[in-house]
Structure 1
């Protein structure tokens, strides 16, 4: 994991805006000047009605899309002037993703799926990478199932593999998009506990996008997005 800034800041958004159909009669601004900071160890929920801009904001935070204006700094690095290769490298090194659907590769074992970010970045994983991946699978309770393919695992187990995969690079920022939305209540509680555990152990900032009010109340901070603006940001 890259070292956060000395002040503990992991992410900073400065007047971030996003518009679509630029220069056309149908141009529309979806995000209207977002200012936000996440510090090392933050555990925050991002909530809001459908259409509030959560998905658009998450794509910007994950460097999967670029803002129309404003600045996004990750570990103090301004990203607005980075080219695609620079953003891709920064994303692969410092950001972990967990989605509602696990997006595991069906033909690969659990271990190989966890190793995928390392293989994409380096080619053949090192012995140290393999040991680290096995350790993460142990940590999520799947050490004995490392050779099983996704179709041989339950939904909750597949999502735990996805959590381990997101952590293989020891990211500074972990983004989770409705990570428990496709799970039963017991599996959802187990996955949430994993986020809590790794937030404490690794010190990574966690931003969890959820429609589940009960889940959001279990976070340390709740950020509400309303019509493309942050309408509330409170510590719980």
Structure 2
């Protein structure tokens, strides 16, 4: 299916296989994300959310099943191929923004492109400025991360994740470090970005209010998907 950004088929993950410490964290996960979907991934601590996100982010390899990213199988890919796919197809936003304090806000947004190809082009700088405009931080481009608020830092991290125009954005507890008002504004930004840029977004969150704001919610319990539901407003 051409509009399918992500497809998981029978994904399982077992750590320490064949040893007394063997532990199966994910079992028989089937999941598909279409282009432009905004989906919340919820579940209690220890349910396997972080492990699943690491697999989707190509930071780890499943023990069973196959993971397709933009139609490409990834399980048997070598490290070089996985790194290339990760850089081309994925954006990441974490609970802790991991901005580099020695660089300006604008330079932090440009960092994925600097790592990829060295000195950014004029077009890249203009794209970074336009993304800062989208997240409401155009006037803070020359500030250092230490000179702006936590919510503003997270907005910089979102702009940075979008600089490569990824088809899929992965957000791991992106509002977990923010107060409820700031969290709501950041989550509203995700909704707007989803609509404007058309990228698929998978958000891991413990906040039921934020999950309820997503058109689709996938619940993970004990390493299995126990529900996959569209919100009433999305389903019609």
Give the shorter-chain TM-score range: over 0.9
Alignment of 1:11-30 (within 5 A): 11-30=6-25
Alignment of 1:105-116 (within 5 A): 105-116=100-111
- Structure 1 residue 34: Cα displacement: 0.4
Residues 1:41 and 2:36 are matched in the alignment: yes
Counterpart-to-counterpart distance in 1, 2:219 and 2:180: 24
Q: Pick the aligned partner of 2:114 from 99, 116, 119.
A: 119
Residues 1:54 and 2:57 are matched in the alignment: no
Unpaired runs of 5+ in structure 1?
none
Cα distance per residue 1:72-94 (max 9 Å; x no partner): 00000000121111111111111
Q: Which residue of 2 aligns with 1:128?
A: 123
Counterpart-to-counterpart distance in 1, 2:123 and 2:59: 29
Q: Pick the aligned partner of 2:191 from 196, 208, 219.
A: 196
Q: Which residue of 2 aligns with 1:146?
A: 141
Partner of 1:80: helix, strand, or coil?
Answer: coil
TM-score, normalising length from structure 1? Answer: 0.96
Cα distance per residue 1:44-72 (max 9 Å; x no partner): 10000000000000000111111112100
Cα distance per residue 1:181-202 (max 9 Å; x no partner): 1111221122111111111111
Q: Pick the aligned partner of 2:219 from 221, 224, 227.
A: 224
Alignment of 1:158-197 (within 5 A): 158-197=153-192
Counterpart-to-counterpart distance in 2, 1:85 and 1:124: 22
CA RMSD of aligned residues (A): 0.8
Cα distance per residue 1:163-197 (max 9 Å; x no partner): 00000011100111111111112211221111111
Unpaired runs of 5+ in structure 2?
232-236
Counterpart-to-counterpart distance in 2, 1:184 and 1:231: 29
Counterpart-to-counterpart distance in 2, 1:157 and 1:109: 13
TM-score, normalising length from structure 2? Answer: 0.96
